[in-house]
């Protein structure tokens, strides 16, 4: 292969790479722009003009429901593999809990039960994951404590 042909082949490969990079940049831009509108365009204040749910940890109120026969039900959203375990506010009506454990072999679920039992001051046997064992959004039943005490301790 002549030296000139080799340079043309390298230039062609670089042009293909540049095209791929610009297509990728466009795809990322569309994905991060939100629900059909751009928050950064024509912005005059620190808040966007259209009301959307941005998942802020301070906007939503956690759902704590009481059932006389079965105890207190709490909606929890879990973030596994966090730097440290603890409460992180609320998101979409659920209490946001960061867990250091990975979601493998039930390690994150066990850590969630341990953390909630410690925070609420109840035994581990009084904390049970009712639904969402394999997902991030979970419903947890806590017995032996009132709803007011749960709201106060998780606030």
pLDDT, tens digit, 9 for 90 and up, residues 128-142: 999 999 999 999 999
Same domain, 46 and 74: no
Query: Are 75 and 135 members of one domain?
Result: yes
101 plus 129 within the same structural domain: yes
Phi first, then psi, for residue 67 (nearest 5°) are: -130, 120
Same domain, 79 and 150: yes
Q: What is the CATH number of the domain that holds 110?
A: 3.30.1200.10
Structure tokens belonging to residue 95: 């209490």
Please check whether residue 12 lies inside any domain of the structure. Answer: yes
User: Residue 83 belongs to what domain range?
Assistant: 64-154
Does the pTM surpass 0.75? The reply is: no
**Nearest-CA neighbor of 128 among 111, 107, 142?**
142
Distances (CA, A) of 134 to 108, 129, 145: 10, 10, 26
Average pLDDT over residues 11-23: 50
Count up the domains in the chain and report the number.
2
User: In this structure, are 150 and 104 located in the same domain?
Assistant: yes
| pLDDT tens for each residue of 19-75 | 544 444 444 444 444 444 444 555 444 444 444 444 444 445 677 777 656 789 999
Residue 20: Cβ-neighbour burial (10 angstroms; 0-12, 13-18, 19+): exposed
In this structure, are 75 and 14 located in the same domain? no
Distance CA 17, CA 23 (A): 10
Is pLDDT above 90 for 145?
Answer: yes
Judge whether 94 lies within some domain: yes
Q: Are residues 109 and 40 in the same domain?
A: no
Could you tell me the pLDDT band of residue 127, with boundaries at 50, 70 and 90? very high
Instruction: Supply the pLDDT for residue 64.
Output: 79
SS (H, E, C) 15-79: HHHHHHHHHHHHHHHHHHCCCCCCCCCCCCCCCCCCCCCCCCCCCCCCCEEEECCCEEEEEEEEE
Assigned domain for 59 exists: no
* pLDDT cut 90: percent of the chain above it: 50
């Amino acid at each position: 292969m002549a030296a000139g042909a080799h340079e043309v082949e390298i230039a062609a490969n670089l042009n293909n790479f540049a095209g791929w990079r610009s297509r990728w940049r466009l795809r990322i831009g569309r994905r991060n722009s939100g629900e059909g509108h751009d928050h950064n365009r024509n912005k005059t204040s620190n808040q966007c003009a259209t009301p959307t749910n941005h998942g802020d940890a301070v906007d939503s109120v956690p759902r704590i429901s009481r059932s006389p026969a079965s105890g207190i039900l709490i909606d929890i959203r879990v973030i596994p593999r966090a730097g440290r375990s603890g409460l992180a506010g609320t998101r979409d009506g659920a209490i946001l809990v960061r867990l250091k454990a990975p979601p493998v072999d039930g390690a994150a679920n066990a850590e969630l039960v341990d953390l909630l039992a410690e925070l609420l001051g109840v035994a581990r046997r009084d904390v049970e994951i009712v639904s969402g064992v394999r997902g991030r959004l979970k419903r947890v039943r806590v017995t032996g404590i009132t709803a007011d005490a749960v709201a106060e301790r998780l606030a």
